[in-house]
Amino acid sequence: MRNLPFICLILLICFGCAEKIEPETRTVITLKKGWKFQKGQHPNAVNPSFDDSTWETVTVPHDWAIYGPFDKEIDKQEVAIMQNFESVATEKTGRTGALPYIGEGWYRNTFSVPNLDDNKKVIIQFDGAMSEPEVFINGQKVGEWKYGYAYFHFDISKYVKPENNLITVKLNNREQSSRWYPGAGLYRNVKVIVKNRESIDHWGTFITTPIITKELAKVNIKTKVTGNDLKLITTIFDAKGNVITAQESESLFNNEFDQNLAVPTPKLWSPDTPYLYTAVTKLYSGNDLKDEISTKFGIREIKFDRLTGFSLNGEITKFKGVCLHHDLGPLGAAINTSALRRQLTILKDLGVNAIRSSHNMPSLEQLELCDEMGFMFLAESFDEWKVPKVKNGYNLYFDDYAEKDIVNLVHATRNHPSIVMWSSGNEVPDQWGSEGVKRAKWLQDIFHREDPTRPVTVGMDQVKAVMESGFGAIMDIPGLNYRVHLYEEAYERFPQGFILGSETASTVSSRGVYKFPVEKGSMKTYDDLQSSSYDLEYCSWSNLPEDDFILQDDKPWVLGEFVWTGFDYLGEPTPYDEFWPSRSSYFGIADLAGLPKDRYYLYRSRWNTKEPTLHILPHWNWEGREGQTTPVFVYTNFNSAELFVNGKSQGIQTKTKNGSPQERYRLMWMDVTYEPGTLKVIALDDNGKQVVGKVIKTAGKPHKIVLEPDVTVLKANGEDLSFVTVSVVDENGIPCPTANNQLNFEVSGNGTFRAVCNGDPTSLELFHLPTMKLFSGKLVVLVQSTEAAGSMELKVSGEGLISRSVQLQSF
């Protein structure tokens, strides 16, 4: 090995087309456009001469089921949900979202292979295909997979020709294969990679940072290759593109180069400072450049210790995390980077520092954004092992695919600094008995073999069982799902010395909906199929947020939490599993449209330590409740506040450890009498000085539409989105929190209407039609760019309302 003073970089990563570099080493073609899709059984579609001209033309990523319609008969399940302590099977109508995901779906497309010759290797990579994909090239089957959430790839070198290659993908989604809406189709990207046979292996680079000091970081890079007479040159660049160091290697060990490079005065990756370096690796045979790849990475140290808990870069850190399902609300499962970025921006403001992918492999785009924006990540793999939760779940594939799926998960994502631990499962029924312990150990050993640098957890809900069987004792990180009353006993019984709240709270609420009387309740239901946004309702197996807060604040051995969930998702409409229409969850801190619920500000008051939080609930439009008791809650990171109704003080409330768990973290005025007008709260500092105030007012009739886009400038790539929040105000500009007007949407210019969502878990209006009712006074419209740069306009109208338009630009 020898250090090189400078290495020039010319790297191709091509999105949507094939481009050349000199000298040419590899081409990446993302197959987005031109796909033909048809649902149903079409066995002749593998034949190149098959006529697909009548099939629908779609762009991938694509979710065929999100376009509906909603139907209670779709995947209606007669089940007793073990995790919910049910012993009698009942009819569940909206468990998987009531969307038509079941059945076969077929995709066809064509592609060319640039500069194809006998020295080229061609790989096809699927980032996710729901589900049971079978892949054909030019009429010949090249392979199949099973798990819809898995990344997988095939070598298709012997099947391709230079031009007009036909790819056909058959998918099959079984009924009773999921506990939530899984989506359907090629919902993540499909890529063709063309490279030389002498090349870096697929996902063959592994970067770690085993030694970190203020003065120096050791960066270890292992690179698996194929070929003879090879040498490897790796150059590390900082975030501005400056060369930091380089190294040349010619010694191969079992087809792997092992390099150690020194980075002086390293800048460390963390949620607050997500600094990324880039390693550019070039492979030579003799003096001929054969391959090159670019890998972003971060320098960071993670440590789990029985005395100090979890530390990142030497600082004790609590996980302020949320669980996320993979659907993107009105977009369904189809991955979209701008939608993911919006989610993470909302979570960043909330103060979230960690995300758990529930309960499956995350998208590669999500991990890239978490690296860039600063989120630690718990990458999960399975919701089932050998013992089924649902009849046609992962239990069908476990024996043949579990190891392969874990290997692909680790190899595809291990260079992401955001990932700080793996999860091999969630609430698996295998928690009972010795066979389950063996499976847990077997899976954990696979993770350790493929990545010795990160620990492994399992989300365990059967805490008594795992204490008795030894299941919990063998895990690197004992993760408890709920069961706050068993934390103390688990801490005493488990040898690790700490507990992670791998899934917490499951508090339920509907945005802007309030129920009286205001009281705590488990599995409460109402005639309108909504849950109260006073944030005092929870599930039979779960608890309120404060129960977790107390454990984290009072028990240093609690590592933090991952709240169920950051956003509402399609399916699992607890506590309304048996009621129709109810087709999406109530668990979210934000609703299905990404609009914050009141609970958002309860968590923000705890997690966002950089900015003040002061939030009042409920709204103050209560015609018919005049003279009745209407409690007022305030979520704030100040300890005290004074409340006023129409200028009259309702007194000062102060958070206290001596009262209920709610009184420790909320300010509550339980005996306020409603009268229309003005509700005002003034926060006080610890010296009793007025600091900041918040006012809400009783609104009149809806009068005018208001539009608030999250971004006004888009990329002209046919994918970028602006999320426009739509609300209405009265003649005086006061928001109308109970408005439910039917609105219509029209997009003109260089943009298109993509979808709309109001966050109502009972709405059966379709996301892709340009009309929808407001829910609790708001909804969100998605405007998508075209590939032509220019301006676009969204116009929103409604009967009896003053219409409004907003201008957006794309470049």
Provide the pairing of β-strand 537-538 with 499-505. unpaired
Which positions are catalytic? 427, 503
Q: How far is residue 456's CA from residue 371's CA, in Å, rounded to a whole number?
A: 20
Q: At which residue do the structure tokens 């260079």 appear? A: 415
Report which of 252, 261, 126 is spatially closest to residue 200, judged by C-alpha positions.
Answer: 252
Q: How far is residue 319's CA from residue 331's CA, in Å, rounded to a whole number?
A: 29
Report which of 465, 433, 457, 470 is spatially closest to residue 358, judged by C-alpha positions.
Answer: 457
Q: How far is residue 442's CA from residue 231's CA, in Å, rounded to a whole number?
A: 36
Q: At which residue do the structure tokens 């090239």 appear? A: 137
Rg of the chain over Cα atoms, rounded to whole angstroms, equals 27
Residue 668, H or E segment: strand 667-669
Cis peptide before 517 (omega within 30 of 0): yes
Give the distance, in angstroms, between the CA of residue 56 and the centroid of all CA atoms in the same chain: 29
Q: At which residue do the structure tokens 């790297």 appear? A: 11
Cis peptide before 631 (omega within 30 of 0): no
Read off the tokens for 483: 């069961």
Report which of 185, 150, 59 is spatially closest to residue 402, judged by C-alpha positions.
Answer: 150
Helix (H, G, I), strand (E, B) or coil at 606: helix
Read off the tokens for 782: 């998605």
Q: How far is residue 224's CA from residue 439's CA, in Å, rounded to a whole number?
A: 29
Provide the pairing of β-strand 499-505 with 558-564. parallel
For 42, which DSSP code? -
Handedness of CA 482, 483, 486, 490 (dihedral sign): negative
Helix axes of 364-373 and 398-413: crossing angle, nearest 10 degrees: 40
For 491, which DSSP code? H
For 269, which DSSP code? B
